Every structure is written in C-alpha cells, then in structure tokens.
Amino acid sequence: MVTDPTAILLLLGTFGTLILIGTPIAFAIGASSVITTAYMGLPLEMVAQNMVKGVNVFAFLAVPFFIIAGEIMGSGGISTRLIKLSNALVGWIRGGLAMVNIMASMFFGGISGSSSADTSSIGSILIPMMKEDGYDGDFATTVTMASSVQGILIPPSQNMIIFALVAGSVSIGRLFLAGMIPGILLGVALMIFSYFVSVKRNYPKSEGFNLVYAIKCFASAGLGLGTVLIVVVGVVAGIFTATESASIAVIYAFIVTFFIYREIPLRAINGILTRSLKTLSVVMILVSTASAFGWLVAYLRIPVFIAEGLLAVTENRILILLMINILLLLMGMVMDMASLILILGPILLPVVTKVGVDPVHFGVVMILNLGIGLITPPVGSTLFIGSAIARIKMEDLARAMIPFYVIMVLVLLIITYVPSVVMFMPNWLMPLK
C-alpha cells in the first residue's frame, strides 16, 4: 500500500467528474480505475484481475438465483394472492387499502427483495384500485413507493448479499435475520401514519374481519410465501448455504408458478429469464468494476484517511453515526444503491467498527439509508417507476413524499441508535460462537 495524494485526487476526481456529466456509474468506476492505475505505473492487467476476482466468489452465485426466483414469483400471480391475503387481514381498518398496500409490500418484498419490483407489481394493481376507491392519486403512489423499501430489508435481499461480499467475514444468515425486525418496524410505522391520514381524509374501509376468508387467502398465498421460508429457515438452520438456498428457491418458485398456480404459460419462462439476465448483467458489471475500484481505494489507504479524519473531528459514536447517515442519505440521492454499497462499504466499515458498531448492524443501517435514496430525486429508480404507473409528475410525487421521508428517517434513527432492534434476531437465532 502507498500514500499518493495526487493518485487519490485523480481517482475520486475522475469518478466524480464522469458522474456529473452523466456517464453510467459502472463505466465511471471502471474508467477512473484504469486512469489511476496507469498514472501510478501499475500494470493495467491488475484492473482486469480484480474485476474477475470481484465476481469469482461462490457466495455471489446466490444473487442471480434470487433475481430469477423473484422474477418468476412476481410474474406468476403471487402479487394478486398477497393483495387478497393482506386485504383479509387489514382491509377492514380505516384506510384499509393503504394498509393492504403496505402489508402486501411486506410479503412481496420478502419474495422479490427489490423495491422497484415491488412497486411495479403491487403498484400496477393497487394504485388504480385505490384511486377508484376514492384515495388521492399522490397518496396511493407515495404509500406504494415508501412501503416498497421493506423489500430490501426483509430477506432474501440481493443487496444484503452484496454487502456481505464487501464486508468479507459477515454472515449472510445473520444479515438476513437482522433485516427482519427493521423491515417490519418500517411497515408498522407507515401503517400508523397512513391510518391517521386516512381518518383525516375520510378514506374508506372494507367490511369487517372474516376469519374463514382470511384462512382461505392464506392457503392460496402460502405456497408463494414458502420461498421466504426456504431461504431464511434453510440458511439460519444451517441446512444449506445462501447460494444453495437460492437455487432451491428457483426450483420451488418454478414449480409453484407453472404447475400449481398456472396463471402464465410455460413459454413465459423465456421472458422471465431475459429480464433476469438484464438485471444480472447490470449487477455483474457494477460488482466487477467496483472490485477494481475498491482495490485501488485500499491500495491508496483511503479508508484509513477517512477513518482518521472522522475520528479527528470526534470519537463520539453518536456523532460519527449521524455524519455517516447524512453522507449516505445524500449519496443515495444521486447514485445507485448497489454501487454505493460496493464503493462506500469498504471505506466506512473500518470507521464504524472502530467505534464499536457491529458490521451486521451497520449493514442494515446502510441498506435502509440507500433504500430511502431509491425513492428520492433526482435519480431514485423507484420514484421513476411510481411516476410512470400513476402518471403523476415526479416533482409532485417528491413533494407528496415529504411526510413519508420523515417517517422513514425516524425509523432509520431508531435502528441506528437502538442496536438491539437490529441485532436481536441474529443474536438469538444465529449467535456468534
């Protein structure tokens, strides 16, 4: 490792400049890595070697399998069944469809692991339904987008796998468990807020709770929810690894979708695999180029400089976590989630571990932070999807999202400063030996 301020400035400056002029993030990462390596006189083959090394990891195989499983379940009627189940459970409350929206996102997020997939699938059904039932269009859309962030917290989540790869020795199983309570907490907070809004605006509610109907809905949707049980229970119980569980989840999702639900023909698998491949290609190029970038970051001792700089300002754990949260929230507004995990993860991990924060705890904090970025302008992908589905201008949705941002930041602060909310499940079910 070396200390070269000019090389550090070149690496970060080139990357920042390319982002500002609209270069795709993966190319900005790769180009800045190549330019800095050439400036330092190092063999350019090292860039290629580190790119290959970044994706040549057994645990990374779980990512494509989870993407395929989520695409299969999202295309095969599971979202409709989850909406019916959610309606049976909470639809009778004032503002019932808003509650249904949030609970359906909680269920579906556990299958897809994706905020954008959640908004696309649940939102395309529920947003028009809520508008027809008398809900304001902006509220129907914003509650859909806000609740979709649960999908990246509740397992399985490919972003948690990416963080585990970045962190090195972090257990994927413990990360999965750590995201459960924060994901549910976020859903409950959104439900409480939506209830008060619904009472104030006199939004409708459905008929009273019917236990028999709820049981029937659960029986119908239960097979879809089994995907989550396969992954979480299998990994936590040590029956198989995250990669093995993901591959089994694909087979299970395939059987349930095409041979039990049978709402789409078998030939639809071609489109599902094509969409999965497009998503995977984006993830692969990000992971590979970020691996080369991360190697240069470590080689130039940037994490050490940042850790020393923050600790020079203060060694107070509360203030350091606050500064990191603000940094992540701001960066999440302008960059893709996976990219930030890959770039900032190796930089910030030494800082938080220095002040006694468990990497699993930090992983959940980081993922929720960046999840908020997915629904924040100017580049929030989920915000674009919600705008397209509802046909509402993005700037109008961003204004309507303000109270939801406040709720989500409050949940973020709770999980940041009350570690037991995050660590209770992993410490209980997968304690460190």
- In this structure, are residues 317 and 355 in contact, taking their beta carbons and an 8 Å threshold? yes
Q: Give the tens place of pLDDT for each residue, 64-94.
A: 887 888 788 777 777 778 888 888 888 888 8
Flag whether pLDDT at 433 surpasses 70.
no
In this predicted model, what pLDDT tens digit does every residue of 20-30 receive, in sequence order? 888 887 888 88
pLDDT of 246 strictly over 60: yes
Stated pTM of the model: 0.83
Report the C-alpha gap between 267 and 276 in whole angstroms: 15
Cβ burial, residue 281 (10 Å; 0-12/13-18/19+): exposed
CA separation for the pair 101, 89 (Å, rounded): 12
Instruction: Map out the domains of the chain as residue ranges.
Output: 5-429
Query: Which residues are CB-contacts of 151 (< 8 A; sequence separation ≥ 6)?
Result: 105, 108, 109, 110, 112, 113, 114, 115, 117, 118, 157
DSSP notation for 252-291: HHHHIIIIII--S-GGGHHHHHHHHHHHHHHHHHHHHHHH
358-406 pLDDT, tens digit per residue, is: 999 999 999 999 989 888 876 677 887 888 888 888 788 888 999 999 9
- At a CB cut-off of 8 Å and minimum separation 6, what does 427 contact? none
Q: What is the DSSP string of 34-73?
A: HHHHHHTT--THHHHHHHHHHH--GGGGHHHHHHHHHHHH
